[in-house]
């Protein structure tokens, strides 16, 4: 089990938290819960209320979106990435299911602590917006490519 100082150093490696005062990160780490998930275990399900964000300490997870026909893995995430923040920032249900693809260790940051840190550190809010904008740009690009492929298939 890592010490509090090790958890602070781990948080500082994540670009979103890198410029935050170590004292504030120590409070965040102290208020968070370290969790371990085994392969196949779900951190949360699509449609669940958002109550926390998760910082991946080690391992990998799949982001899975359920459709009427099937479950589709839309992304994979790993060490030093944060997941689950969209739901707590936007006050919407979880947009996807997150499932451990191997042994996964995370730091679970409760909604009130994550939002409190953003209120205390406005620069963090800007970084969160940049990260979300980057994800939106990537998703938009992928949707455009998929639409082109679909149109090309229809014309055959």
Backbone angle region of 45, left / alpha / beta, with phi > 0 → left and psi within -120 to 50 → alpha: beta
Residue 44 CB partners (closer than 8 Å, separation 6+): 50, 84, 94, 97, 98
pLDDT at residue 12 in the model: 85
Tallying the residues shown for the chain, one arrives at 156
Q: Where are the extended beta strands (E) located within the chain?
A: 33-37, 42-44, 52-58, 61-66, 71-77, 82-83, 97-100, 104-110
Query: For the segment 55-110, what is each residue's pLDDT rounded down to a tens digit?
Result: 998 999 999 999 889 999 999 999 988 899 888 888 899 999 999 999 999 999 99
Q: Answer whether residue 112 shows pLDDT above 70.
A: yes
pLDDT average, residue stretch 2-11: 82
Q: Answer whether residue 2 shows pLDDT above 80.
A: no
The span from the CA of 107 to the CA of 150, in Å, is 40
Q: How many C-beta neighbours within 10 Å does residue 10 have?
A: 20
Q: Taking the domain 4-154, which CATH number applies?
A: 2.60.120.10
Stated pTM of the model? 0.83
Residue 75, strand partner residues: 63
């Amino acid at each position: 089990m890592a010490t509090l100082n090790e958890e602070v150093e781990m948080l500082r490696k994540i670009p979103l938290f890198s410029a935050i005062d170590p004292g504030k990160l120590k409070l965040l780490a102290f208020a968070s819960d370290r969790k371990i998930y085994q392969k196949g275990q779900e951190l949360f399900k699509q449609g669940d209320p958002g109550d926390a964000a998760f910082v991946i300490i080690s391992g990998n997870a799949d982001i899975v979106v359920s459709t009427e026909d099937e479950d589709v893995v839309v992304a994979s995430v790993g060490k030093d990435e944060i997941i689950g923040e969209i739901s707590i920032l936007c006050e919407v249900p979880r947009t996807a299911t997150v499932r451990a693809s191997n042994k996964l260790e995370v730091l679970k940051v409760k909604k009130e602590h994550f939002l409190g840190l953003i209120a205390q550190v406005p620069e963090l809010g800007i970084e969160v917006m940049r990260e979300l904008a980057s994800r939106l740009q990537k998703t938009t690009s992928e949707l455009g490519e998929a639409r082109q492929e679909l149109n090309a298939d229809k014309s055959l």
